[in-house]
Each structure stands twice: as structure tokens, then as C-alpha cells.
Amino acid sequence: MLRALGEFRRVGGGATGLVGRIRQMASGAKMHGTTILSVRKGERVVVIGDGQCTMGSIVIKPTAKKVRRIGPDGKIVAGFAGATADAFTLLERLETKIEEHPGQLLRACVSLAKDWRMDKFLR
């Protein structure tokens, strides 16, 4: 991980760094995020994420917010790892389902899963 961060810093945020990252994107390298940890003990839960989005072995965003509070009161904690764009889309759709089924998190999740399985675009 430190090596990847060093490579990102060497490439930097200037024009050369941007061009390098655009070339990687154009070459088909996929952007993704990783590392979410959840620990539950009794009624307490801790969810943490590393906050890095990588493309190959290069960290392209070291400050991603992978753990979020969602829902009307912010009482639901959601974390994601994997393709960043897909994760944002799923979180938005989950929030919509939570609004459709207030106070019924399980029902909202099942409804989202049904949509996911039936909608070719989502898959």
C-alpha cells in the first residue's frame, strides 16, 4: 500500500499526473475501492473503511468516504468496497427504497435486491 501511495505522489496532482491517470483509464484499468471492516459485539457495531480508491496499484483518491450514514435520520450505517460508481448507485437506490418503506430496513433491502436481479441495467 505504501508503495502505491508513493507512486501516486510521484505522479502527483499536476498535469503529468492527470494525463497519466487518464491514460490508465483509457487503457481499460478499472477503478475500485477496498477494505471495509465491521465488528459487532452485543448491541454495539463499528464500521470502518480505509478511504482509498485505486486503479491497479496506484492510489488515485486517498480520501474516499466509503462508510456513510444513510436514511432519514442517519441511523443506518453503510459501507462499500468494489466498483465506486456502482456503490454510489446502490447507496442512492437503497436510500430511495428506505424512503418507500420507512422503518422497514429489511423490506427495503429485499426490494432493492429484487430490482437488482430483474433490471438488466443494474446487473
Let me know whether 77 and 60 are in one domain: no
pLDDT score of 94 more than 90: yes
Alpha-carbon torsion angle 37, 54, 1, 11, nearest 10:
-150
16, 34, 35, 89: which one is catalytic? 34
Q: What is the pTM (predicted TM-score) of this model?
A: 0.59
Distance CA(87)–CA(22), nearest Å, equals 21
Let me know whether 78 and 49 are in one domain: no
What is the average pLDDT across 18-28?
Answer: 57
Cα torsion 76, 93, 109, 66: sign? negative
Confidence at 88, pLDDT banded by 50, 70, 90:
confident
What is the average pLDDT across 63-89?
Answer: 83
Let me know whether 60 and 78 are in one domain: no
pLDDT at 90: 86
For 29, the domain range is 1-64
Q: Which residue from 38, 47, 30 is spatially nearest to 86, judged by alpha carbons? A: 30
Q: Residue 106 carries which side chain, given as an amino acid letter?
A: L
Q: How far is CA 50 from the centre of its chain?
A: 11
Let me know whether 83 and 110 are in one domain: yes
pLDDT above 70 coverage of the chain, percent? 70
Last residue of a domain, one of 46, 64, 82: 64
**Rounded alpha-carbon distances, angstroms, from residue 74 to 28, 34, 68:** 36, 23, 9
Give how many domains the chain has, as a whole number: 2
pLDDT score of 110 more than 70: yes
What is the average pLDDT across 23-38?
Answer: 63
Last residue of a domain, one of 64, 93, 115: 64
What's 14's DSSP letter?
A: S
pLDDT score of 23 more than 70: no
Let me know whether 60 and 75 are in one domain: no
With both helix axes pointing from N to C terminus, report the angle between 2-11 and 15-26 in degrees, rounded to the nearest 10. 120
Q: Is 54 a catalytic residue?
A: no
Let me know whether 54 and 76 are in one domain: no
